[in-house]
Structure 1
Amino acid sequence: MGLGCLKMVINQNIKLNIDEKYFSSVLSDDEIKFLEDTEFVKELKTEINSIESCLNKIPNFTDIVLIGFGGSSLGTKAIYDSLKNLYELKKIIFIDNLDDEIFYQSIAEIDKNKALFLFVSKSGNTYEVISLLNHMLKEGFKKDRFHFITQPIPSQLEKFGIKNNIAITNVNENLGGRYSVLSISTFLPLELIGCDWYKIKESALNFYNSEKENSFKICSSLINFYMNNYQNGKNISCFMPYTSRLSSFSEWIMQLFGESLGKKNLGGYPVALTPINYLGPKDQHSQLQLVLDGPPDKTMTFFRVNKNEGLNKYSNIEQRATAQALNEVNVPYIEIELDELDESSLGIIFIIYEIVVSVIGLKLGVNPFDQPAVELIKKKIK
Structure 2
Amino acid sequence: MDRLSLDVNGCFDAAADGLGANALDALAPAAAAAFDGFEARRRSGELGFADLPRDAATADASAALARDLAARFENLVVLGIGGSSLGGRAILSALTHPFHNLLPRDRRGAMRVFFPDNSDPATFEALLGTLELEETCFATITKSGGTAETMAQHLVLRERCIARFGEEGYRSRCVLVTDPAKGALRAIADAEGLRALPVPASVGGRFSALSAVGLLPAAAGGVDLTALLAGAAAMEARCRSGALRENPALLYAGVLHLMDRQKGRRIHVLMPYADGLRDTGDWFVQLWAESLGKRPEVGPTPFRAVGATDQHSSMQLMMEGPHDKVVTFVRVVQPRADVSIPVPDTYRPHGEIAYLDGHTMGELIEAERRATEAALRKAGRPTVSIQLPRLDARAMGELLMLLELATAYAGGLYGVNAFDQPGVEAGKRYAQGLLGRPGYEQARDELLARAHTDPALVLG
Match of 1:313? 363
Matched, 1:84 2:96: yes
What TM-score comes out, normalization by structure 2 length?
Answer: 0.74
Unmatched 5+ stretches in structure 1: 1-10
Structure 1 residue 345: Cα displacement: 0.8
Question: Conserved in 1, the CA contact under 8 Å of 2:285 and 2:304?
Answer: yes
Over the aligned positions, Cα root-mean-square deviation in angstroms equals 2.4
Q: CA contact under 8 A between 1:307 and 1:313: conserved in structure 2?
A: no
Distance 2:93 2:282 in 1: 12
CA-to-aligned-CA distance 1:157-184 (integer Å, 9 cap, x gap): 2232222222121211221111111222
In structure 2, the residue matched to 1:14 is: 4
Task: Show the 5 A alignment for 1:219-258.
Answer: 219-231=249-261, 232-258=263-289
CA deviation vs aligned residue, 1:122-178 (integer Å, no higher than 9, x gap): 111111011111222343455221111000233232232222222121211221111
Question: Partners in 1 of 2:186 and 2:380 — Cα distance?
Answer: 53
Q: Distance in 2 between matches of 1:348 and 1:26?
A: 24
Contact 1:26/1:220 (8 A) holds in 2:
no
Residue 106 in 1 paired to residue 127 in 2?
Answer: yes
- Alpha-carbon offset, residue 204 of structure 1: 1.4
Does 2:117 align with 1:96? Answer: yes
CA–CA distance in 1 between the matches of 2:184 and 2:74? 28
Q: Which residue of 1 aligns with 2:218?
A: 190
Give the residue type in structure 1 aligned to 2:398. I
Q: Within 5 Å, which residues of 2 pair with 1:102-141?
A: 102-140=123-161
SS in 1 for 2:8: strand
Of the structure 1 ranges 250-259 and 199-208, higher mean CA displacement relative to structure 2 is found in 199-208
Distance 2:111 2:363 in 1: 29
Q: Percent identity among equivalent residues? A: 27
| Counterpart secondary structure, 1:280 | coil
Q: Is the CA contact 2:49–2:207 (under 8 Å) kept in the aligned structure 1?
A: no
Q: Distance in 2 between matches of 1:105 and 1:312?
A: 36
Structure 1 segments, 4+ long, off by >4 Å, are 20-29, 50-54, 56-59, 86-89
Structure 2 counterpart of 1:379, which letter? R
Please tell me whether the aligned partners of residues 53 and 232 of structure 2 are also in contact (alpha carbons under 8 angstroms): no
With over 3 angstroms needed to count, the CA separation of the structure-2 counterparts of 1:211 and 1:53, relative to structure 1, is closer
1:67 aligns with 2:57: no
Matched, 1:146 2:136: no
| Counterpart AA for 1:67 | L
Work out which of the residue numbers 342, 367, 373 in structure 1 matches 2:417.
367
Quick one: distance in 2 between partners of 1:56 and 1:286?
43
Q: 1:33-80 CA distances to partner (integer Å, 9 max, x unpaired)? A: 333333245533643314555636955322111111011111111110
For the 8 Å contact 1:70–1:255, the answer to whether it is kept is yes
Tell me which moved more, 305-314 or 70-79: 305-314
Name the CA shift for 1:146/1:262 in 2 (closer, same or farther; >3 Å): same
Q: How many pairs are equivalent?
A: 368
For the residues of structure 1 that align with 2:389 and 2:413, how far apart are their CA atoms? 32
- Unaligned stretches of 5+ residues in structure 2: 13-20, 99-107, 163-168, 340-360, 436-460
Structure-2 residue corresponding to 1:276: 303
Judging by fraction of residues, say which structure has more helix.
Answer: 2
TM-score, normalising length: structure 1 = 0.88
Q: Report the CA distance shift for 1:217/1:49 in structure 2 as closer, same or farther (over 3 A).
A: closer
CA distance in 1, matches of 2:109, 2:364: 27
The CA deviation string for residues 262-285 of structure 1, in whole angstroms up to 9 with x for no partner, is 112xxxx44111001111111111
Structure 2: distance between partners of 1:322 and 1:42? 34
Partner of 1:31: 34
